[in-house]
């Protein structure tokens, strides 16, 4: 499909690490709820695709690099373009899945981090209300990076990697 975003080369170890972190986050969620992890913890976490504006990101973007970008510890891509991470609201189930899998923490656990960063003059990533808004932001903002629950079909957006079962995001 010529209108579909291309898939970057995936760092296989980073993708496996993300799946493991998601599974562990799912097990922790089940244990916290008093349920048995044998029920299939990995299914708790919603699948998602990490997306960037076409031609923006480095060829290999690891889960660690994405975490650094969303913590505003990595502020530029290799070509010098400023990174522009975009989040969904903290109450979003997809943001929770992304935060647990990529950042290793729930969104509310990041509040103290952002308070500390604020006193150093650093504001948290942009927050938009919907996945459609994430796609619009990423497509129209140089250096933008975000996450969505389905593989975008917009040629202006590239999929960096996916976490979970996303059969629509096969290599093109």
Write out pLDDT tens, residues 105-164: 988 888 888 888 999 898 999 999 999 999 999 999 999 999 999 888 888 898 988 888
Q: What is the pLDDT of residue 57?
A: 59
For the segment 22-51, what is each residue's pLDDT rounded down to a tens digit? 655 444 444 444 444 444 444 446 899 999
What does the pLDDT look like over 50-60, one tens digit per residue?
Answer: 999 888 757 57
User: Residue 36: what pLDDT?
Assistant: 44
pLDDT of residue 72: 94
**What is the C-alpha to C-alpha distance for residues 12 and 146, in angstroms, rounded to an integer?**
20
pLDDT value, residue 41: 43
Q: What is the distance between the terminal CA atoms of the chain, rounded to a whole angstrom?
A: 8
Sheet holding 144-148, edge to edge: 126-127, 84-87, 144-148, 48-53, 157-163
What is the pLDDT at residue 10? Answer: 41
In terms of average pLDDT, the best of 4-13, 14-23, 40-49 is: 40-49
Give the per-residue pLDDT at 167: 72
* Burial of 28 from C-beta contacts in 10 A (0-12 / 13-18 / 19+): middle
Would the pLDDT of 63 be above 50? Answer: yes
What is residue 130's predicted lDDT score, i.e. its pLDDT? 97
Buried b (16+ CB within 10 A) or exposed e, 68-79: bbbbbeeeebee
Q: Please give the structure tokens belonging to residue 87.
A: 């989040």
Q: What confidence tens digit (pLDDT) does each residue in 71-114 have?
A: 999 999 988 999 999 999 999 999 999 999 999 998 888 888 88
Of the candidates 100, 155, 99, 158, which has an alpha carbon nearest to the alpha carbon of residue 124?
Answer: 99
Residue 91's pLDDT is 93
Contact, 111 vs 169, CB < 8 A? no
Flag whether pLDDT at 8 surpasses 50: no
pLDDT score, position 24:
53
**Signed CA dihedral, 61, 65, 66, 70: sign only:** negative
């Amino acid at each position: 499909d010529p209108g579909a975003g291309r898939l970057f080369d995936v760092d296989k170890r980073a993708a496996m690490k993300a799946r493991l972190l998601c599974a562990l986050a799912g097990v922790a969620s089940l244990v916290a709820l008093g349920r048995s992890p044998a029920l299939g913890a990995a299914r708790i976490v919603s699948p998602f695709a990490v997306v960037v504006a076409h031609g923006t990101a480095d060829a290999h973007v690891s889960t660690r690099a994405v975490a650094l970008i969303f913590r505003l510890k990595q502020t530029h891509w290799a070509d010098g373009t400023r990174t522009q991470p975009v989040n969904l609201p903290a109450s979003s189930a997809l943001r929770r899945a992304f935060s647990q899998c990529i950042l290793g923490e729930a969104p509310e656990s990041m509040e103290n981090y952002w308070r500390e960063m604020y006193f150093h003059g650093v504001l948290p990533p942009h927050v938009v209300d919907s996945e459609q808004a994430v796609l619009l932001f990423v497509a129209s903002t140089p250096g933008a990076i975000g996450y969505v629950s389905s593989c975008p079909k917009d040629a202006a957006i590239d999929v960096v990697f996916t976490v979970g079962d996303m059969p629509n995001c096969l290599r093109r």
